Copies of this chain bind each other. A is one copy, B any other.
Amino acid sequence: MARERKIDMVILGLLNHEDLTGYDIKKRIDGAISFFWKGSFGNIYPALKDMENQGLITKRELAVGGRDKITYHITKSGKAALKDWLREEQVSNELKYETLLKLFFSGADSREVSLRNIEVFEEQIKKDLKLLKTYSETLEKAPDTEDHVYYSLTVSFGIETYEAYLKWCAKAKKMLGKRVMEIDETES
């Protein structure tokens, strides 16, 4: 059965770049990473404890203004574990889209309901796409480091697939009989 908990790898990946506190790790995950992976405190803190016991990371307690702040640092063993994971070919890529599930079973209700569900999805995607594009713009102005190449690729994955989603939404709405009378608003 072995280790399945991927949050460890997220943590190692982040710590490989810089030392961080659990709180910082959470913030990083809530950024661009959240588009393809999630994490919570109840997830992260126990993982940090385990990983320290395994010798993958070390902790450094610093008293910052009378308060404890715990910063984690990746060890050699941790770096090795990260590489091992990167070189493993077996991956789990999973989509759990409730919108598609609903659409699949939409024969049970009216077309208005299906259309509304597609619109809800579309609105969310538009919002997310806007965010991805700000990431992309920030990246264009940033220096060309090796890490940036990878960051940039994941962002462009998001942008391209989300644009495909939007195209599909338009087609789906048309197919379900939505008359598009609105003038298309360019997303300025």
- Which chain A residues have a beta carbon within 8 Å of chain B's beta carbons? 6, 9-10, 12-13, 16-17, 32-33, 35-38, 79, 82-83, 85-87, 89, 91-109, 113-114, 116-117, 120-121, 124, 146-147, 149-151, 153-154, 156-157, 160-161, 163-165, 167-168, 171-172, 175-176
Contact = CB atoms under 8 A, between A and B. Distances in A.
A92 B86 contact: no
A106 B93 contact: no
Contacts of A120: 89, 91
Contacts of A114: 150
B96 A93 contact: yes
A16 B108 contact: yes
A86 B161 contact: no
A108 B104 CA distance: 41
A140 to B, nearest CB: 14
Nearest to A106: B150
Contacts of A100: 35-37, 154, 157
Residue of A79, A96, A104 ringed by the most chain B CB atoms within 10 A: A104
Contacts of A32: 104
29 contacts: A12-B105, A16-B105, A17-B107, A36-B95, A36-B100, A37-B96, A37-B97, A82-B105, A83-B108, A86-B106, A87-B113, A89-B120, A91-B99, A91-B121, A92-B98, A93-B97, A93-B98, A93-B99, A93-B121, A94-B95, A95-B95, A96-B96, A100-B154, A103-B150, A103-B154, A106-B150, A107-B146, A107-B150, A156-B168
Residue of A6, A96, A114 ringed by the most chain B CB atoms within 10 A: A96
A87 B107 contact: no
